[in-house]
Structure 1
Amino acid sequence: MLRTSAASFITRRAFHVSSVRAIKEGDKLPSLEVARKSPGDTVDIHKLFSDKPKAILFGVPGAFTPGCSKTHLPGFIKLADELKKKGIDYVACVSVNDPFVMTAWGESQNNNNGEVELLADPTGALAKAMDLNFDASAALGGHRFKRFAAVVEHGKVKKLFVEPDKTGLNVSLAENVVKTL
């Protein structure tokens, strides 16, 4: 009898599963808070990009990690002037780190003129909302952003470059993004 009741309950019970939908070209950035230089200095990512005619948001698996520190962030800092010539008026990098780590990372990368604003997604909420997160527990202690870059116009993703293997250094690099502008 118990078996029948449980089976009956399961077949009658309507399960609602909300699937996360990956952000794609044409989508608006989600309306979620990220931190700037401290936990109390937050900004809604959608609002931040809504007033920008043409901007870039790129994400990295982690501050101070080799690929992010040797190639990804330095590329956007180095090409800041070229990006401006191509009409980009704002560049931001986001990572699942705390804002203090992101600030220290920017200082260590000589981002002293603010060529790239560093944004912290400490809980990974933005990475999850964009479905650009992956489980990096073995290497980085938790879920992290896949490596990506997005050209954003007034809060809407116009071009999206996501590394197919999550962490590679290919399609999302500054050198490759600038070629498409």
Structure 2
Amino acid sequence: MSIQIGDPLPDALLQQVGDSIEPVDSATLFTGRKVVLFAVPGAFTPTCSERHLPGFVEQFDAFRAKDVDVACLSVNDPFVMQAWAQAQHVPAGLHMLADGNGEFTKALGLQLDATAYGMGLRAKRFALYAEDGVVKQLWVEAPGEFKVSSAEHVLEQLS
């Protein structure tokens, strides 16, 4: 069963990437904050690199103006996430999170079986808004779509 509005975010260890790679507990990341977490099926994949992450990079200041942190999650290793962040010119403060083994994604119940494409288990494309570690809004894309988890859509919902 997937996470629902009103549920607390699960506790898991993630890797946060930037200039360095640091382990971060999800509870530490989400407790006491307003956060939009969006997930992509894979770093460097077409929609993720051409539209999803770039939208949040472009709208980053608009989220910060609402006192909302932004985090990007992918079931990739932290070195891939670090290279992707550099290639996409991700601003400091936009949390890039590697869920290398998919433990957090699995705990959310939002896994995508991409084995038919040689990609293994990944995260579904989604976005959620949480306050103090509790899901307040959730947008999960239908297979092959990119609508409700876009930065623009999420910003509209937070207005």
TM range (shorter): over 0.9
TM-score normalised by length of structure 2: 0.93
TM-score normalised by length of structure 1: 0.82
Partner of 1:44: 25
Cα distance between partner residues in 2 of 1:23 and 1:96: 17
Give the aligned residue type for 2:2.
A
Cα distance between partner residues in 1 of 2:73 and 2:61: 20
Aligned residues: 157
Partner of 1:91: 70
> 1:94 touches 1:120 (CA, 8 Å); kept in 2?
yes
Cα distance between partner residues in 2 of 1:47 and 1:76: 22
1:103 aligned to 2:82? yes
* Structure 2 gaps, min length 5: none
Taking the TM superposition and a 5 Å limit, the aligned residue runs for 1:88-167 are 88=68, 90-111=69-90, 113-165=91-143, 167=144
CA displacement 1:45-92 (0-9 Å, x = unmatched): 12210021x11111100000000000000000100111122331x110
Identity of aligned residues (%): 45
Deviation at 1:164, TM superposition (A): 2.0
1:71 aligned to 2:51? yes
Rg larger for: 1
> 1:151 touches 1:158 (CA, 8 Å); kept in 2?
yes
Cα distance between partner residues in 2 of 1:173 and 1:40: 26
Cα distance between partner residues in 1 of 2:17 and 2:134: 25
Give the aligned residue type for 1:175.
E
RMSD between superposed Cα atoms in Å: 1.6
CA displacement 1:119-143 (0-9 Å, x = unmatched): 0001111111101001101224200
Partner of 1:171: 148
Give the aligned residue type for 1:100.
F
Give the aligned residue type for 1:149.
A
Cα distance between partner residues in 2 of 1:59 and 1:153: 17
Cα distance between partner residues in 2 of 1:82 and 1:152: 17
Equivalent position SS for 2:105: helix
Equivalent position SS for 2:104: helix
Deviation at 1:25, TM superposition (A): 0.7
Equivalent position SS for 1:74: helix
